[in-house]
Structure formats: C-alpha cells, structure tokens
Structure 1
Amino acid sequence: MYNIDFAEPLWMVNYYHFIGISSLIGNIFGIYLLIYQTKELGEFRYYLLLFQVVCTATDLNLTTFMKFLPYYPINALGTIGYCSQWFNMPTHYCMLVCLILTYYESECLALCFFQKHQKIASVIAVHVFPVYAKIIGALIFLAFPVYPMIAMQILDVGPEKQLEYIKRDFPDYYAGFSTVPHFAIYLDSPLLYSVYSVVLLTMGTIFASLVFVNTDLIRLMVRLKPQISPQNYQKHVEAIQSLIVQMLVAGLCALPLFGVAFILAFQLKNGQFIGRIMFVLWTCHSTINMISLFIFFPPYRRYLFKKLRINRRSLFQVAASSVMT
C-alpha cells in the first residue's frame, strides 16, 4: 500500500498562486516587449508573439484554471482550479486541455525555429523546403495530439464510475478518494503506457528537431554573413539567440514530464511527493524563460538597461534637488 495524502497541500496551493501571478506578469510584459520594443526583428516577432500567447494560455490553465494535484504512483490526478470549483469541469477534460496546450506550445516554438530557418535559407537559396513539404509537416504536427486524446478518452471511466472502480481495484484508497471532489483515475494498461510513450517520444522528437534546425541555422548564418549588411546580420543573430534561450528553457522545464513517466513506470513508493515537485518545476517555465531572456536576449537587455538608467537618473535628480533645497 502506498502512502498517499488526500489533503490539499497548503504549500502547493500557495505556490500555484505565486507562480500563477508571476507567470502572468512575465507573459504580459513579454507580449508588450514583442509588440512595442522589438520592431527591429520585423515580422518574425509575430511568431515569437504567438509562442508567448500560447505560453500565457498554458500557464493560466496550469496555475489558475486547473491546478493539478497528483496521486501517484496510482494513475490519478485531482484538480482544485477554478474550472473544477466554479464550473464543475471534470479533471479528465482539464487534463486533455493542458495536454493540447503543452503540445502546441512546443510546436509554436518549433514553428519559430522553422520560420527563421526558412527566412535565412531563402536569402542564400539553400535548404529551402517546397510548399507541399511545409503543408505535410504542418499537418503532422497538428495531428500529434490526436492519438493521446483518443486513447485517454477510451481510458476514462467517467466521474460516475470512478469510485466504483476504486472500490473494486483500490479498496484501501476508497475512503481517501471519497473526500476528493474532482479527480480522474486511469486503469493500468498497455494503452495507457502507449500514451505516455507517444507523448514522451513526440516531445523528444520536437526537441531533437529543434536541435537539428538550430545546428543547420548556424551553418547557414556563416554563409549569410558576407551577403547582408552587419545591421541585418545582427538582427538575425539576436532572433536566433532568443530561440536558443527559449529552446533550452523549454527543454529544461519539460524534464519533469519524463520524471512523471519514471514515477508511474517504476511505481515509486514516494511517487506522490516526487510528482508534486515535478508539477512545481513544470509550471515555472514562463518565469524562468523571461528571466533568461532578460539576461541573454539583447533587445530585452537593452530595454532593461535603458529603463534602469532612466530610473537612476531620476533618483539622482530627486536627491540633488532635495540637497539644493
């Protein structure tokens, strides 16, 4: 019997509140910067803006509207967010929404890489993909979530039958789950583990594609440099720096998903606590992303230094005037 705590962990609830507010502020600030402070990036900033908007939607769902609580190593999740509390939305559908958003967040980042790659490739007429290849690739990426969604829908036992299922297969936890207002539980089966495998394989494939495209981008940039002005070249460099930073942060924050798969595959005794830590790490993506961009992305860094200099000047003027008076 696993030691599963069915009470709402106060530290995790407070963390969701904190990271939800900080992520929302960071994402809105990022949207503002992309619209008004990165015009030198041209139309490419709209692709970055799309990625930022999807990040905002994903974070709002994870930290505000859904708020997942794992009951690992049993394949069960609870929700304490507004969608469940106010609208009585089943946890199963909350999970599907977050799965889709997470998929498309990673795919929007891949789209940014691909668009920049093709923009540079078209200038030097190297590695330019034909239109049909782009359409096929887009359809494949859009179809990635279809299998996991269909499979999870098959595995869902429904809110009415969940307690019956637990009483039959997990009688030791029946009393605990009876106190949980919103949760979803899934039967251990090859179909369930195929879903985990497909999700992890897809995320790994997307990340590997990003690495491959980025490697080719570096080679293309070497050939591009003699053909354009230093100013235009610097714009391309800065855009690629932004993508690399966000790729590394996304890869780092996706690692908890592999941690969750490890917990479920090996039925770890302390799986619930480890799972909570994995969810905490997963939801801090946007905060880490914005901090990283302010450190490594020149347009954001220039904006920050400009504001800091203005603030320092204003403080100095106030201090000087107070001394004079």
Structure 2
Amino acid sequence: MIMFTEEQLMTFSYTVDFGEPEWLKIYYHGISIVSTIISFFSMYVILFQSGKMDGYRYYLFYMQFAGWMMDLHLSTLMQFIPLFPVFGGYCTGVLTQFFGIDDSFQTTYTAFTICLVASALNSCFVRKHQAISKISSKYLLNDIPYIIVIFLLNFYPVVAATLLYLSMLSKDNQVILVKEVYPNLVDNFAHLSNYVVFDSNYWAIIFFAFIFFGCTYTLILIVTTTYSMFRTLEDNRKHISSSNYAKHRATLRSLLAQFATCFLIVGPASIFSLLVVIRYEHSQVATHWIIVALTLHSSANAIVMIITYPPYRNFVMLWKPNRSFRFSTTQRSGDMNTRIHTERSFAVTMTSSRS
C-alpha cells in the first residue's frame, strides 16, 4: 500500500486540481492533427521514395506506424489527465466519451503502444544487421532463428501490457484505496465518472522490473548491433561497391538518429518514475509536460528520418525523387562531352596551323 505522512494527506485537497487543463486539451487536438499529417507523409515517403531499398523499408514503416499509434492513442483516443501526486488520473478522450471504455484498459493499451515503439525500433536494428551481415556471412542468422528473434521482440509489448493489467485494482478496491490513502480527495473522486488509481502491489513490481529489463535489453541490442555493423562495413569496404557502402552507412546513421528520438519516451518515463518516488509538490504540472514530450515522439522521429536519410531529404527538398542525382549525372556528362569536343577542336586547329 502507498503510504503518505499525515501532513501530505492534509494538503492533497489543495495541491491536486481535478479540472481539465484547457491548454492541455487544445494541445491534444493540435498535436493529433500535426502528428497524423507528418506520420502519414513519412510513411508515404518510406513506401514510395525508398528506391531500391529492400524489405528494410517495411520495418521503417512499422516503426513510423507504431509511433503514430502511440500518439493517436494519447492525444485523441485517451487524452489522459494526471492527478499527481495522486498515483492515477482520468481519461477524457474519444474512448471515454463515445464508447465508455474503462480507464484501466486505456492505460494498459498506453503501455502496449509505448513498448510497441521500442519493439519496432529493435526490429529495425536486427533487420539492418541481417542485411549488412550478408556481406561477410558473419553473425548472419538463419531464417528460423531470425523469425524467432523478431517474434520475441514484438511479443514484449503483449507481456508488458498484461503485467500492467494484472497490477490494476478492481473498481471496488480503487474506491477503498482512495478512502484509505487520499481521504481528503474522496469527494473529488466521487464526481468523476471514471478514473484509475494505482497501488504498489506484487504485479506492479514485476511490471516495472520487466520494463527495466526491456530498456536494458534495448540498449545492449542497439550498441552491439551498431558496433557489429560498422565493423563489418569497414572490414569489407574493399569487397563492396562505394555506392553500397555509402548507402549502408547513410541508412545506419539515420537509424541511430531515430534511436536518439526515443529519449522523448525514455526521458519522460524516467522523470515520471522519479516523481512517483519523491512526491514532488508540483508534480501534476510536471506530468502534463511529460505527456507533451511523449506525444512529440512520432513527429520528431519522422522529421529526423527524413532529414538524415539523403533520398528522403532530396525528395522533400526538390519534391522529385532522386531528381538531384539524375540532374547532377546529366550535367556532369554534358560538361564532359563539351570538354572533350573543345579539346578535339583545339587539337584539330593546332594541327592545321602547323601544316
């Protein structure tokens, strides 16, 4: 059971605002539109402007789609209003207003979508590692082990969501928890049609341990595969064409840049965990900004992907796929032909004058 001092219990009625922040509601609507536009554009670019890229494009598409799902759920379907320092909150989105979906289920699905983004990222690194490993056949997984690895990576969100759902209290137990732990807020909670509050029970501890394991595993996977991929490229640089070498390095750098945007998820989650422990007085406002950071992820990831991968960047800048490359090639060819023609004319002239 979560425990507080008597002084903390007496001040909860003054530090917790049960109203819906107007600015947060406006932000939810705005970021939902922006995220959808940017995400759909990035998915179009991946599918139709990737040139001769192999099946890796579908893994990139998967990552963008997972990020959009997370943003859509947080900003439109759920619209969570946190009540910190109370460990809980309530939902005001489409799922609540039109479908009456329980807040506990919506919170569970939030964990699923966040973990799905991490799983999609891991899948991209594994798939890219497979493509580069084919150069030397070193560390290359066979079909069955590869399928098993991808399956386990993408089964992680299901396990995480299940553990979180098992840690949820029943509605009756949530009412009891509010009366025992937040006695000054009983009347406030009574005016809410639906809400969710959490307790630090056995399943909750397992859930957080599993999340910590997933974060650690993701970091190890990305570091080891990245080192292996760069090492393979450098060791086999003489055996592959310069264009393939440049393509692999550009793709890998772009993927690492997209990994950096995951700090918009990891950072807020870490701050959230810290707030749970220290019970910061103004933690409700802080959790509002944590949600803002989370909903920026898919847009930031899409923009970073387009900026850091040359074919996508050229398409956006010129609005024509690979036009700059074709133009440059044609221009260089034309210049070369002109120079050759000029040199030949000059040679003929010199020969005639000597005669």
Q: TM-score, normalised by structure 1?
A: 0.87
C-alpha distance after superposition, 1:209-254 (max 9, x if no partner): 1122112211111123222222222222222122111111113432
Are 1:77 and 1:184, in contact at CA under 8 Å, matched by a contact in 2? Answer: yes
1:210 maps to 2:205: no
User: 2: CA distance between counterparts of 1:165 and 1:132?
Assistant: 48
The residue type equivalent to 1:246 in the other structure is: Q
Q: Show the counterpart of 1:42.
A: 54
* Structure 2 equivalent of residue 134 of structure 1: 146
Residues 177 and 46 of structure 1, relative CA distance in 2, 3 Å threshold: same
Is residue 2:319 matched to residue 1:277? no
Q: Tell me the residue number matched to 1:200.
A: 212
CA offset at residue 176 of structure 1? 1.6
Q: Which residue of 2 aligns with 1:83?
A: 95
Task: Identify unmatched segments of 5+ residues in structure 1.
Answer: 309-325
Distance in 1 between the 2:76 and 2:204 partners?
27
CA shift in 2, pair 1:188/1:59, >3 Å: same
SS in 2 for 1:78: strand
1:301: which partner in 2?
A: 313
Question: 2 CA distance for matches of 1:149 and 1:46?
Answer: 25
Q: How does 1:175-324 map to 2 (within 5 A)?
A: 175-307=187-319
Q: Does the CA contact (< 8 Å) of 2:42 and 2:64 recur in 1?
A: yes
What's 1:321 paired with? Answer: none
Is residue 13 from structure 1 mapped to residue 25 from structure 2 by the alignment?
Answer: yes
CA contact (8 A) 1:41 1:235 kept: no
User: CA offsets per residue over residues 141-200 of structure 1, 9 Å max, x none?
Assistant: 344345543443333223455334312332111122222233211123354233223213
Between the aligned partners of 1:97 and 1:154, the Cα distance in structure 2 is: 13
With over 3 angstroms needed to count, the CA separation of the structure-2 counterparts of 1:294 and 1:139, relative to structure 1, is closer
The whole-number CA distance in structure 2 between the counterparts of 1:102 and 1:252 is 11
Q: Aligned equivalents of 2:34 and 2:219: distance in 1?
A: 26
Closer/same/farther in 2, CA of residues 178 and 256 from structure 1, 3 Å limit: same
* CA distance, structure 2, for counterparts of residue 147 and residue 229 of structure 1: 43
Report Cα offsets for 1:268-300 as digits up to 9, x if no partner.
Answer: 222211111111111100121222233322122
Q: Secondary structure at the match of 2:16?
A: coil
Which residue is equivalent to 1:323?
none
Letter in 1 for 2:90: G
Q: Give the C-alpha shift of residue 81 in structure 1.
A: 1.0
Contact 2:60–2:124, Cα closer than 8 Å, also in 1: yes
In structure 1, the residue matched to 2:84 is 72
Corresponding residue for residue 103 of structure 1: 115
Q: Measure, in 1, the Cα distance between the counterparts of 2:121 and 2:96.
A: 29
Output the CA distance in 2 between the equivalents of 1:292 and 1:138: 24
Check the 8 A contact 1:40/1:235 in 2, yes or no.
Answer: no
Q: Which residue of 2 aligns with 1:320?
A: none
Shift of 1:54: 1.6
- Name 1:27's counterpart in structure 2: 39
CA contact (8 A) 2:43 2:65 kept: yes
**Larger of the two Rg values belongs to structure:** 2
- Indicate if the aligned counterparts of 1:207 and 1:251 stay in contact, CA closer than 8 A: no
The verdict on how the C-alpha distance between 1:32 and 1:148 changes in structure 2, with shifts beyond 3 A counting, is: closer
| Contact preservation (8 Å) 1:75, 1:188 | no
Count residues in correspondence.
308
Q: Residues of 2 paired with 1:287 and 1:221: CA distance?
A: 31
Greater shift, 39-48 or 274-283, is seen at: 39-48
TM-score, normalising length from structure 2?
A: 0.80
Q: Which amino acid aligns with 2:128?
A: K
- Provide the C-alpha distance between the structure 1 equivalents of 2:141 and 2:192, rounded to a whole number of angstroms: 52
Structure 1 CA distance, aligned partners of 2:306 and 2:36? 16
Alignment-mate amino acid for residue 284 of structure 2 = Q
User: Among the aligned pairs, what percent are the same residue?
Assistant: 23
Q: Do residues 119 (structure 1) and 124 (structure 2) align? A: no
Quick one: distance in 2 between partners of 1:293 and 1:142? 22
Q: Which of 46, 49, 70 is equivalent to 1:58?
A: 70
C-alpha displacement at 1:135, in angstroms?
A: 4.4
